[in-house]
């Protein structure tokens, strides 16, 4: 196996791990939103909601830092969801590109 193929395989593994972490964040954020709807006013007493909120609060804090100040705080969850979905799409494209490039290389 050539050094180029080793580099591609390493890059593929890195992108797979990043994609998995992004999926975990995305699903946690979506689950927090679902619990926000289902739990109603009692959500602050819900243990699972509070666990999801640990992750969700950090996602929103990062989103607030990268989002222009004119975007109101009430829109941050939608903006955060957009960024997570965009990251997922870009990671999928990168993964597909790496897999196709690895398959196109001749086997040694």
Neighbouring C-beta atoms of residue 15, cutoff 10 Å: 20
The confidence score (pLDDT) of residue 106 equals 73
Residue numbers in the chain where pLDDT is lower than 50: none
The confidence score (pLDDT) of residue 108 equals 60
The confidence score (pLDDT) of residue 100 equals 95
The SS3 of residue 33 is: helix
Domain ranges of the chain: 3-104
CB 83 within 8 A of CB 63: yes
What gap in Å lies between CA 9 and CA 43, rounded to an integer?
A: 44
């Amino acid at each position: 196996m050539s050094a180029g193929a080793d580099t591609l395989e390493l890059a593929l593994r890195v992108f797979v791990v990043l994609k998995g972490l992004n999926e975990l964040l995305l699903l946690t954020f979506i689950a927090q939103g679902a619990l926000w709807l289902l739990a109603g006013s009692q959500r602050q007493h819900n243990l699972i909601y509070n666990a999801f909120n640990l992750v969700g609060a950090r996602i929103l804090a990062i989103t607030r830092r990268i989002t222009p100040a004119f975007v109101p705080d009430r829109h941050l969850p939608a903006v955060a969801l957009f960024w997570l979905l965009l990251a997922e799409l870009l990671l999928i494209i990168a993964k597909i590109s790496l897999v196709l490039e690895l398959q196109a290389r001749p086997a040694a």
